[in-house]
Structure 1
Amino acid sequence: MSADLSEAGGRELWARVRARIKAAVGEDVFTSWFARLELEEIVGDLVHLSAPTRFLCSWVQSNYSDRILEAFRQDAAEIGRLQITLRINGQARVKLAPAPEAQPSREAEAAPAQPVAAAPRLIRDTSAQKGDALSGSAIDPRMTFETFVAGGPNEIALGVARQVASAVTSGTVTFNPVYLHSTVGLGKSHLLNAIAHAAISADATRNVVYLTADHFMYHFITAVQRQSAIAFKEWLRRVDLLLIDDMQFLQGKSATEFGHTLGTLLTGAKQVVVAADSPPRDLEMLDERVRSRLSGGLVVPITTFDFELRRAIVQRRADQATSRFSVHFPAPVIDYISRAVVSHGRDLDGAVNRLVAANQLTGELITVPLAEKTLGDLIRARETRRVRIEDILRIVSRHYKVPRNELLSSRRSRDVVRPRQIAMYLAKALTSRSLPEIGRRFGGRDHTTVLHSVRKVEQMMRDDGELCQEIELLKRMLEE
């Protein structure tokens, strides 16, 4: 707390602020957005709150900061700024210092003031000037190369990640940019965090920043609002290693700004690593030049985990649970989880955690019948995975190299009509949408057009065995 506000006084002030906000927004809104906020400190005119998730940090800062400040000012008129940071394991990731009134000196406080949007955490910024460094996103201390479970589907990505971390410490660039892509839960974020950990551990003077796309976007938008966009750009251009996660969420002017920043970083031989859920060519919100630049680097896919890798992950998590909770995972249980839970790594972690919880709460031994009873929804979720029409359009567009907008257009050329009819057939076969609904999603067509397409594809499949195999391949791609 600040010198003129004790810790007890800060708690009392925060309690009054919470009561005012609750009365103003109502019980439901308060529970959704404010109940999990905690007061960390008040320094000068700056209030520092923390939240348990990155999304909550960004959402509250973007949508409710004025309301929170207004509630504080009713008791403390001098308060003028709000910072919300990520809270991990009950602790905020950064403590703040008041912003200087003038140009900061070399002897400024170790925790720099934020010139633009507040965000969870600076991983590493060794710029000569204090007070002009932005915050990056929080990194997970558990996500290191040592805790990454390697196997066939991810071994190339792991090797590239290790090489990038090593090259950064030696001041060289081998592949730039590096682009990792996969569906959710296959280890992209783990590798980005591991690169950051390894680079900083090997050379603490390197300026390494890890940013999720939503925080990059939030930083840029707030910088524009506060007329400090130039400082934001200059800060990014001093970064030695920039890691951007969840690139698919980047959109609007932030995507354009990333393109300019990417060009500058590459020209200056700086290292960029990007992770997303699809290849660069499918990131339609990015400018074509940016997609081309990303595609021109090293693009590394991480494929769906095979049984051997799933089993290695489950075994690692089971060993950790055994050492921590003194539980026993028999080999048949590990095999059962590895075969039954085939979605992604997070579900494998969740399966082990559920069995540990069941054992600790009931005392029941960890067996295959317990796993069948406890993990039923994880298995059913895979069996009944909901396919969306948007997924079908994306996969068909990519497979047949037909732009998505062409599939929805009125063009009648053969190279467009056949993929369009196959996409409508898949929408009828794999979704619960009615024919009129499918027609509306395919450029406002009526249900008779959809029905004609479905019957046409069924007829072609009876006459063409290769087409049957092709459509089965598309189905598998959609169900992965």
Structure 2
Amino acid sequence: MNKTCEQVWEKCLNIIRDIVEWQPFKTWFEPIKAVQLENNVLTIQVPSQFFYEYLEEHYVGLLGKTIKRELGKEARLEYRIVVENGTPHQHPKTVNMPTQFTKHQKDSEVDFPLTIQNPVKNPFVIPGIKRVQIDSQLNHNYTFESFIEGDCNRVARRAGKTVSDKPGGTSFNPLVIYGGVGLGKTHLAQAIGNEVKRQSPNKAVLYVSAEKFINQFIDHSKNNIINDFIHFYQLIDVLIVDDIQFFARAEKSQDAFFAIFNHIHQSGKQLILTSDKPPKDLDGLQERLLSRFRWGLSADMQIPDFETRMEILEMKMRNDGLEMPKEVVKYVAYNIQSNVRELEGALISLLAQSSLNRKDIDLELAKRVLKSFVKTSSKEITIESIQKMVCEYFDVPYDKLLQKTRKREIVQARQITMYLAKSFTKNSLKTIGEHFGGRDHTTVIHSCQTVKDLMDTDNSFRDSVIELQQKVQLAAM
């Protein structure tokens, strides 16, 4: 009894089903149809050019062994690929292609050229403008040199540098960079891309926001050219996708990205993703995508500390050829704590006001300009509340703070408390002194100056004061 092509293929599927996991089997093998069996050559029909290439790259060995098991050592496999013809009323056209495991094929038959029907359409090309190479869509100002490293981003930056030196060749694949708005995720992701392009100009690097990816997918869906869309993205060596949390509202786009992700990852290429949350906290994304996001490294970006904010402002000033009094830079860095974007925005506003009003930048101007950036306190800060906060921080008894003792730890705690009281309350120097056992205003002035001097010379002391300043600010919110 002669076997039909359907019977042979069904037996092959039974073998493959036991080897391949359920999801890949459903994705890559269930859509295949057996269409012909002649002279030990089994012809199977696949739905697209992309489908053919994926099978040849990832499952050609399995297909070869399975078909030879059913038809013998001389068995061969050919594909019939459905080619979109753009008119829904016509039957789809097909084109036959050999497989890489066929013994008798010529080397020239192995490659499936991108131009066999129509060139793959680049979704980034503006109609009417010819572009031969893939434009990376990168901002060339985003580099590692212009990205300030601090405790808030050290792991992410160093992982990014490792990836840029060896894209696709590390365990950081994908590299997921996550954190709040304006903390530098996009800057770091694009810095990786720019560094890869610098070291390997021939690599195809592409940056795209998740929103743009979704919009492109929708456009290609309307025009029935999804295969072109997927095939374009599979050409990329380093794919950077920004704000992947937006995939949550786009189920079909997730399916396309899943196929692209698999191809890029399994081809030894690099994926870099950014998000406002770690992968485990992303809602609305398919579990199969989330599991792949967890394959590599997830590195967080936190709010920069005072020193990092100072460095960011100073670098921005150097790059723009600007000068500003040190006390103003400190004031801006201290008061703008939310994110880097707002920090740079405050600096631009300050420079604009200085230019428009033809006034030198000083602390008075900085305080006036930053009113729109600094959140007004909703709670009143009292001298007593600051005293309790400092005592708790240094583990000093409250009554000791008011006594006349020369113990160094008590003296410094008292001086810092006076300094904070002067900074955060509207009380007079005389009133502040009265809250410390009836000391006069000259003692308060001396204490405040001592704290300022020590902050300039003692890093540990400065860190303590800055931390206490932040605690007072938080208490006021």
Using the size of structure 1 for normalisation, the TM-score is 0.51
Q: How big is the shift at 1:307?
A: 0.9
Contact (CA 8 Å) 1:177, 1:274: kept in 2 or not? yes
In structure 2, what is the equivalent of residue 192 of structure 1? 189
Aligned equivalent of 1:230, options 227, 232, 236:
227
Give me the whole-angstrom Cα distance separating, in 1, the residues matched to 2:115 and 2:298: 43
| 3-state DSSP of counterpart to 2:375 | helix
Q: Which runs of 5+ in 1 are unaligned?
A: 1-102, 107-111, 122-129, 385-472
Contact (CA 8 Å) 2:336, 2:374: kept in 1 or not? yes
In structure 1, what is the equivalent of residue 341 of structure 2? 346
Q: How big is the shift at 1:280?
A: 0.7
Give a deviation string over 1:377-414, Cα, whole Å, max 9, x none: 11128x68xxxxxxxxxxxxxxxxxxxxxxxxxxxxxx
Give a deviation string over 1:392-440, Cα, whole Å, max 9, x none: xxxxxxxxxxxxxxxxxxxxxxxxxxxxxxxxxxxxxxxxxxxxxxxxx
Q: Which residue identity is paired with 1:241?
A: V
Give me the whole-angstrom Cα distance separating, in 2, the residues matched to 1:228 and 1:131: 20
Q: Which residue identity is paired with 2:210?
A: A
Give me the whole-angstrom Cα distance separating, in 1, the residues matched to 2:155 and 2:267: 26
Give me the whole-angstrom Cα distance separating, in 2, the residues matched to 1:205 and 1:134: 10
Give a deviation string over 1:132-171, Cα, whole Å, max 9, x none: 98766x3222111111111111111111111111102xx6
| Alignment of structure 1 residues 10-89 onto 2, 5 Å | none
| Alignment of structure 1 residues 313-332 onto 2, 5 Å | 313-321=312-320, 323=321, 327-332=322-327
Give me the whole-angstrom Cα distance separating, in 2, the residues matched to 1:201 and 1:289: 34
In structure 2, what is the equivalent of residue 216 of structure 1? 213
Give me the whole-angstrom Cα distance separating, in 2, the residues matched to 1:331 and 1:215: 42
In structure 1, what is the equivalent of residue 354 of structure 2? 359
Contact (CA 8 Å) 1:245, 1:274: kept in 2 or not? yes
Contact (CA 8 Å) 2:332, 2:346: kept in 1 or not? yes
In structure 2, what is the equivalent of residue 115 of structure 1? 121
Give me the whole-angstrom Cα distance separating, in 1, the residues matched to 2:317 and 2:188: 21
Contact (CA 8 Å) 1:185, 1:344: kept in 2 or not? yes
Give me the whole-angstrom Cα distance separating, in 1, the residues matched to 2:254 and 2:132: 23
Give a deviation string over 1:274-317, Cα, whole Å, max 9, x none: 00100112221210111111123101011111111111111212
In structure 1, what is the equivalent of residue 255 of structure 2? 256
Give me the whole-angstrom Cα distance separating, in 2, the residues matched to 1:355 and 1:159: 33
| 3-state DSSP of counterpart to 1:380 | coil
Give me the whole-angstrom Cα distance separating, in 1, the residues matched to 2:188 and 2:123: 26
Contact (CA 8 Å) 1:173, 1:270: kept in 2 or not? no
Give me the whole-angstrom Cα distance separating, in 2, the residues matched to 1:163 and 1:104: 32
The alignment's C-alpha RMSD in Å is 3.0
Give me the whole-angstrom Cα distance separating, in 1, the residues matched to 2:131 and 2:331: 54
Sequence identity (%): 27
Deviating 4+ runs (over 4 angstroms): 103-106, 116-121, 130-136
In structure 1, what is the equivalent of residue 237 of structure 2? 240
Rate the CA distance shift 1:248–1:378 in 2: closer, same or farther, 3 A.
same
Q: How many residues align?
A: 264
Give me the whole-angstrom Cα distance separating, in 1, the residues matched to 2:283 and 2:294: 13
Aligned equivalent of 1:369, options 364, 367, 378:
364
Rate the CA distance shift 1:347–1:260 in 2: closer, same or farther, 3 A.
same
Rate the CA distance shift 1:177–1:380 in 2: closer, same or farther, 3 A.
same
| 3-state DSSP of counterpart to 2:331 | helix
Q: Which moved more, 1:273-282 or 1:354-363?
A: 354-363
Q: Which runs of 5+ in 2 are unaligned?
A: 1-112, 379-470
Q: Which residue identity is paired with 1:373?
A: R
Tell me which structure has the larger Cα radius of gyration.
2
Q: How big is the shift at 1:172?
A: 2.7
In the alignment, structure 1 residue 306 sits paired with structure 2 residue 305: yes
Q: Which residue identity is paired with 1:201?
A: R
In structure 2, what is the equivalent of residue 142 of structure 1? 141
| 3-state DSSP of counterpart to 1:181 | strand
Contact (CA 8 Å) 1:246, 1:276: kept in 2 or not? yes
Give a deviation string over 1:169-206, Cα, whole Å, max 9, x none: xx634421110000011111001111111111111111
Q: How big is the shift at 1:349?
A: 0.7
Give me the whole-angstrom Cα distance separating, in 2, the residues matched to 1:281 and 1:157: 17
Give me the whole-angstrom Cα distance separating, in 1, the residues matched to 2:133 and 2:225: 12
